[in-house]
Amino acid sequence: MPRDNIPPSAMKKLQQFFTKTLDTNNDGLVNWTDFEAAIESVVSKDDAAKNARLKVLRKRLEQHFQKYFWDLCAVGDANKDGNIDLDEWLDVMNDIIGGLKDKNEFPEWYEGLHKALWRANEFLDERNVSKDEFANMLISWDIDEKSAEKAFDFITDHGQKRMDYHLFSEFMKKFFLNEAPKHPLNLGLD
């Protein structure tokens, strides 16, 4: 499948995003095991067992991630093996980036993942997330702190805009659409 919506300058960034944020066990595939590891890194089973609020948060996160994983498999698992390899993921991203270019919006199923990731964090005020809180969220995706802080400064215009879910969603759109090398939006993945 031609990937005409992914500029060559963005290919490395997308490959790194797959490897660092999705393929948690580095086996070259994204499957439910990777999502379970991501859930565990956000809210561990041990912590959830000791705290009712964390138990509810973990359960919701599991439900959102299961939905996203099965939606991802429905649109991207070309060989129907229950895994998403890098080529399949890049094909999905080609379609998502095409949609962003046309309508500036994510497909509803993909937006759901971002909402789940946002809600899974312990922000003091999710309508005004601090630079440290934003960096901690991205560090959990294996993004280095300095790159996360640079991205925060860029997208918030050095704190002039409040980081809320809407701005985070805009950030993710710009991340996928940005073609400029070494730009703060690339999170150091290029």
Residues 98 and 140 in one domain: no
Residues 171 and 90 in one domain: no
Over residues 126-148, the mean pLDDT reads: 91
What dihedral angle (degrees, nearest 10) is formed by the CA atoms of 76, 16, 68, 185?
-120
How many independent structural domains does the chain possess? 2
Over residues 22-48, the mean pLDDT reads: 91
In 3D space, the residue among 160, 60, 59 whose CA is nearest the CA of residue 115 turns out to be 60
63-81 confidence digits (pLDDT tens): 988 998 999 999 999 999 9
Over residues 154-170, the mean pLDDT reads: 96
For 108, counting Cβ atoms within 10 Å of its Cβ (0-12 exposed, 13-18 middle, 19+ buried), the class is exposed
| pTM exceeds 0.85 | yes
Residues 36 and 82 in one domain: yes
45-60 confidence digits (pLDDT tens): 999 999 998 899 889 8
68: containing domain = 14-121
Residues 65 and 22 in one domain: yes
Q: Name the average pLDDT for the chain.
A: 92
Residue 4 lies in a domain: no
Q: How far apart are CA 101 and CA 90, in angstroms?
A: 16
Residues 95 and 132 in one domain: no
Are 138 and 151 a contacting pair, CB within 8 Å?
yes
Over residues 79-88, the mean pLDDT reads: 96
